[in-house]
């Protein structure tokens, strides 16, 4: 039992103390390759405060980014700073972060309470403190009634939430959630989204990744889009949407009489075409999404045709990416 | 817990440095550690001074109160500033250690492989003990080595008795007067000349002719033709003795040469059982406990300690905490030790108890084996620790091939253990863990049985026993420092500790560089 003291606290070259002015996360020209596969390509960001959504398709580098931030991986080139120190060499800043990995594996033989309390003790809490805190966070994520049940018997949504609970137990300043909504049912999604929003509201820095635009949209406005390991866009979602609105866009309406409704839409100045992919579907094509959306209720009302559903098929990550990549080239 | 992350009614958390900046008296200094320490010291000094003032004035001073509260504030701030360091290194080291150790133990409990491995070890020991009990409870026929219990002429008097009275053992009509001397039962003349050794390694002149058939002592006819013509065949100038060629430093007996008919008919059963028993203690201790259990239990229980977590992708739950990776490895091993050391202790104590009752002994329980068993316990503990660390490290270095490398290493260890049994001085064996474990048992067995080499030589004198092969095969005197079992013991313990620390060091530095994908 020889604890390696060189790795703790006074690590490597610099002393570590929480620097208030430092960004919580800073990546300086970070590149990560797995053999010949590019995981992350020359990404530079600095994040402090608020909820940031990381958007990207599978393999875009979201998890790689998070693993670099929490010190699971070393960058191939560039520097990663977590609270001003290298997270791969120095585990001290881990006391201020909570990390929910995308890994589905948990210790199925433990109860939810055991899991959270045992890991809480690694922050240096006593047994009693850890249990108290674990019960508190389990209550916060809505698992208090199953706290004494084995994790193996949990549903998918409960498993995600117990992972989130374990990441909150140390009162972190920075919370990193890797695909927290993946595979959850709508109820669990809503619970988790509320949890994330509440965390953001307390002034904590939250990073949350997803490949579904609408999910992120419900959580935060500040987004970061990764594509093929590159940082594609960083900023306010509305600003990006504004750009998108000026782009050819489609609205899908489900109705009994698509042709009649299509006729009603055509006079609108921004509608340049209608299509009928199915007998009960109408697709309106436009160059200005918001103006058509504003006019949509009155058109439907005036035509007197029953509309059962309105969808935005272009309102997803793929079309956003398509637009961004196109716009860049 | 004033900072509750989930209490959303409270104000957003303000970094400690900002709080300090709000204090007017210390705002001028940049909030570094040194300044905070200095402030804390100054505040304490002023608080003490103020308290002193309060004492002398014997009245409540608002100034002192303010200073104390200021001191407490600064103290809190300093503690907050030091949080990362104190949290991760000193004050909470033991809490983390117990947490990881306890977690490891509970994880073992849920794995079937743990119970299978420990159960097989238990069954193995129980079976060996049954064989041992069988061997000890079955009697051995005592052999009349010198043949004097026979009544060759059929006159009712055994040969030994006839010799004393000077009658002819080969003549039916020549025997003592039945009215004066009753014939001895033949058993009296079996095992009647035991081995007389005073245990002194510096005295080559040993042995005593108990039945008098060399010296003729007590015989009616002291010039009987039955007495040997040459009473000093071992040529040491002393008639009717046994000459021991020994090394008093290493306490080794090289040769025992007896004059004719001296110490020639010892109690075979006593010697055979004793020698078998010691062969069992040494053989089972070295091969069964120190080696087989010492290597298989770690192979199955320690190789996956960190590797399995890495493979399953659950290691980050532990590693994502403010705890050094090197510490995780050490504490995981601590959890392993907390399982296998008590296990080995239980098995060895069980064996020691069972054999203690069954072994040849003057009392109900044979106590003087205990130090030999303690040596076995020590060896098995140290070997389990060394093997466990080595296997765990192999698993960290190569998650995919670690187990195979470990098995290859086990084969090497087995070969070295076998060589160590026969040739303990063969230098190559010094590179193996098993050699040093076996050496520990050698050292303690010399302490438990100082007459070990004597017993082996006696056994080889009576070559009809065949058991000397067993004892001689499992025993060798301490070889590191000849003649000093204590020094050899200490060196062996030191070398095993060195192996462990070296393996731990390699494992820790490998884990530090590992990326957790």
Do A94 and A71 form a contact (C-beta atoms < 8 A)? Answer: yes
Please report the pLDDT score of residue B199 as a whole number.
Answer: 75
The Cα B221–Cα B345 span in angstroms is 62
SS3 (DSSP) at A253: strand
* CA gap A80, A24 in Å, rounded: 11
Q: Between A257 and B221, where is the model more confident? A: A257
**Residue appearing with tokens 């403010």:** B322
Q: Is B516 near chain A, with CB under 8 Å?
A: yes
B135-174 pLDDT, tens digit per residue, is: 888 766 777 777 788 888 888 888 888 888 888 888 888 8
Is residue B96 less than 8 Å (CB to CB) from chain A? yes
Mutating which of A17, A130, A132 best tests the B interface, going by the most B Cβ atoms within 10 A?
A17
Select from B6, B504, B512 the Cβ nearest to the Cβ of A2.
B504
Q: Which of residues 107-146 of B touch A (CB under 8 A)?
A: 107, 110
User: Are residues A180 and A164 in contact, defined by beta-carbon separation less than 8 angstroms?
Assistant: yes
pLDDT band at B227; cut points 50, 70, 90 = confident
**pLDDT (0 to 100) of residue B462:** 58
Burial B42-57 (b: 16+ CB within 10 A, else e): ebeebbeebeeebeee
Per-residue pLDDT of chain A (329 residues; tens, 9 = 90+): 344 443 333 333 344 555 666 788 989 999 999 888 888 999 999 888 889 999 888 888 999 999 999 999 999 999 999 888 888 988 888 888 999 998 889 999 999 999 999 999 998 888 888 999 999 999 988 899 999 999 999 998 899 999 999 999 988 989 999 998 887 888 888 888 888 888 888 888 999 998 888 888 888 888 898 988 888 888 888 787 777 666 777 888 888 888 888 888 888 888 888 888 888 888 888 888 778 888 888 888 888 888 888 887 776 677 777 777 775 43
DSSP conformation class of A15 = -
What is the Cα–Cα distance from B281 to B351, expressed in whole angstroms?
A: 9
Is this prediction's ipTM beyond 0.85? no
A&B contacts, CB < 8 Å: 175
Contact criterion met (CB below 8 Å) for B155 and B172? yes
Q: Helix H segments across B423-513? A: 433-448, 452-461, 468-474, 485-513
**Confidence band for B50, pLDDT divided at 50, 70 and 90:** low
Q: Tell me which chain B residues have a C-beta less than 8 angstroms from the C-beta of A92.
A: 84-85, 87-88, 322
Neighbouring residues of B47: CB distance < 8 A, sequence distance ≥ 6: B64, B67, B68, B70, B71
Q: Note whether B432 and B416 are within 8 A (CB).
A: yes
A59 touches chain B (CB under 8 A): no
Taking the model in full, what pTM does it have?
0.77
Find the helix packing angle between B268-283 and B370-397, rounded to 10°: 20
DSSP state letter for B517: -
pLDDT classification of B471: cutoffs 50, 70, 90: confident
How far apart CA A84 and CA A174 sit, in angstroms, is 13
| Nearest residue in A to B331, CA atom | A1
Of B85, B92, B314, the CB nearest to A105: B314
How far off is chain A from B22, nearest CA to CA, in Å? 14
Residues of B in contact with A95 (CB under 8 A): 83-84, 87-88, 321-322
Tokens 């007459």 label which residue? B451
Q: What are phi and psi of B512, to 5 degrees?
A: -65, -30
Q: Within the 439-498 window of chain B, which residues sit less than 8 Å (CB to CB) from chain A?
A: none
Q: Is B12 on the interface with A (CB under 8 A)?
A: yes
CA distances from A136 to A162, B159, B199 (A): 12, 95, 73
Put simply, whether B30 touches A (Cβ < 8 Å) is: no
pLDDT at B17 over 60: no
- State the DSSP string of B47-81: HHHHHHHHHHHTS--HHHHHHHHHHHHHHHHHHHH
The phi, psi pair for B306, rounded to 5°, reads -105, -35
Is A168 within 8 Å of B5 when comparing Cβ atoms?
yes
Measured between alpha carbons, how far is residue A35 from residues A39, A76, B8, B104, B153 in Å? 10, 10, 45, 34, 97
SS3 A28: strand
8 Å CB contact of B320 and A73: no
């Amino acid at each position: 039992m020889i604890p390696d003291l060189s790795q703790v606290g006074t690590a490597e070259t610099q002393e570590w103390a929480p620097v208030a002015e430092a960004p919580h996360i800073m990546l300086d020209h970070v590149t990560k390759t797995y053999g010949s596969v590019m995981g992350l390509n020359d990404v530079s960001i600095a994040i402090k405060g608020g909820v940031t959504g990381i958007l990207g398709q599978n393999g875009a580098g979201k998890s790689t980014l998070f693993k670099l931030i929490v010190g699971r991986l070393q960058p191939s080139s560039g520097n990663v700073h977590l609270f001003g120190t290298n997270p791969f060499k120095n585990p001290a800043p881990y006391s201020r972060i909570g990390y929910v990995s995308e890994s589905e594996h948990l210790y199925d033989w433990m109860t939810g309470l055991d899991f959270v309390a045992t890991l809480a003790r690694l922050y240096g809490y006593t047994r009693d403190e850890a249990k108290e805190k674990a019960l508190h966070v389990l209550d916060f994520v809505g698992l208090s009634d199953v706290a004494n049940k084995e994790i193996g018997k949990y549903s998918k949504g409960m498993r995600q939430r117990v992972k989130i609970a374990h990441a909150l137990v140390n009162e972190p300043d920075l919370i990193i959630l890797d695909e927290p909504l993946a595979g959850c049912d709508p109820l669990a999604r809503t619970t988790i989204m509320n949890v994330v929003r509440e965390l953001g509201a307390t002034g904590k820095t939250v990073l949350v990744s997803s490949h579904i635009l609408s999910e992120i949209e419900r959580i935060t406005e500040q987004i970061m889009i990764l594509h093929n390991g590159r940082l594609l866009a960083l900023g306010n979602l509305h600003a990006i949407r504004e750009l998108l609105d000026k782009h050819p866009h489609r609205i899908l309406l489900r109705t009994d009489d698509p042709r009649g409704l299509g006729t009603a839409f055509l006079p609108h100045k921004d509608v340049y075409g209608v299509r009928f992919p199915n007998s009960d579907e109408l697709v309106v094509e436009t160059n200005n999404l918001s103006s058509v959306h504003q006019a949509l209720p009155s058109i439907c009302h005036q035509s007197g045709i029953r509309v059962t559903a309105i969808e935005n098929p272009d309102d997803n990550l793929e079309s956003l990416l398509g637009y961004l990549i196109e716009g860049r080239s | 817990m004033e900072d509750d992350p989930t209490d959303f009614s409270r104000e957003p958390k303000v970094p400690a440095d900002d709080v300090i900046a709000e204090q007017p008296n210390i705002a001028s200094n940049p909030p570094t550690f040194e300044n905070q320490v200095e402030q804390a010291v100054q505040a304490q000094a002023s608080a003490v001074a103020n308290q002193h003032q309060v004492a002398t004035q014997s009245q409540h001073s608002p100034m002192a109160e303010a200073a104390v509260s200021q001191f407490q504030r600064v103290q809190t701030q300093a503690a907050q500033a030091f949080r990362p360091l104190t949290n991760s290194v000193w004050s909470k080291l033991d809490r983390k250690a117990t947490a990881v150790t306890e977690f490891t133990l509970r994880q073992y409990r849920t794995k079937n492989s743990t119970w299978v491995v420990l159960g097989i070890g238990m069954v193995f020991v129980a079976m060996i003990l049954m064989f041992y009990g069988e061997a000890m409870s079955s009697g051995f026929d005592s052999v009349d080595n010198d043949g004097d219990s026979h009544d060759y002429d059929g006159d009712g008097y055994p040969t030994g008795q006839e010799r004393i009275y000077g009658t002819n053992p080969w003549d039916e009509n020549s025997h003592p007067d039945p009215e004066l001397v009753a014939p001895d039962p033949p058993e009296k003349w079996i095992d009647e000349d035991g081995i007389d050794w005073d245990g002194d390694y510096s005295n080559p002149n040993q042995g005593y002719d108990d039945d008098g058939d060399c010296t003729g002592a007590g015989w009616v006819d002291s010039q009987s033709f039955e007495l040997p013509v040459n009473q000093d065949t071992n040529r040491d100038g002393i008639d009717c003795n046994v000459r021991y060629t020994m090394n008093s430093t290493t306490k080794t007996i090289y040769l025992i040469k007896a004059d004719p008919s001296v110490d020639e008919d010892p109690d075979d059963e006593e010697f055979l059982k004793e020698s078998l028993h010691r062969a069992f203690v040494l053989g089972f201790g070295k091969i069964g406990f120190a080696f087989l259990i010492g290597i298989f239990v770690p192979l199955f229980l320690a190789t996956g300690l960190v590797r399995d977590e890495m493979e399953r992708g659950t290691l980050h739950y532990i590693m994502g905490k403010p705890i050094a990776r090197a510490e995780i490895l050490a504490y995981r091993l601590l959890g392993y030790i907390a399982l296998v050391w008590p296990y080995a202790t239980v098995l060895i104590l069980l064996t020691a108890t069972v054999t203690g009752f069954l072994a040849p002994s003057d009392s109900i329980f044979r106590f003087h084996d205990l130090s030999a068993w303690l040596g076995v316990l020590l060896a098995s503990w140290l070997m389990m620790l060394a093997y466990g660390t080595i296997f765990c490290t192999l698993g960290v270095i190569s998650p995919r091939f670690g187990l195979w490398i470990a098995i290859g290493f086990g084969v090497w260890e087995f070969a070295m253990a076998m060589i160590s049994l026969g040739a303990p001085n063969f230098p190559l064996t010094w590179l193996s863990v098993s050699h040093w474990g076996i050496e520990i048992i050698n050292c303690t067995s010399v302490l438990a049985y100082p007459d070990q080499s004597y017993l082996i030589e006696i056994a080889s004198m009576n070559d009809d026993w065949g058991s000397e092969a067993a004892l001689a095969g499992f025993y060798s005197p301490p070889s590191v420092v000849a003649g000093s079992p204590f020094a050899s013991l200490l060196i062996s313990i030191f070398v095993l500790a060195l192996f462990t620390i070296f393996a731990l060091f390699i494992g820790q530095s490998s884990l530090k560089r590992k990326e957790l994908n």
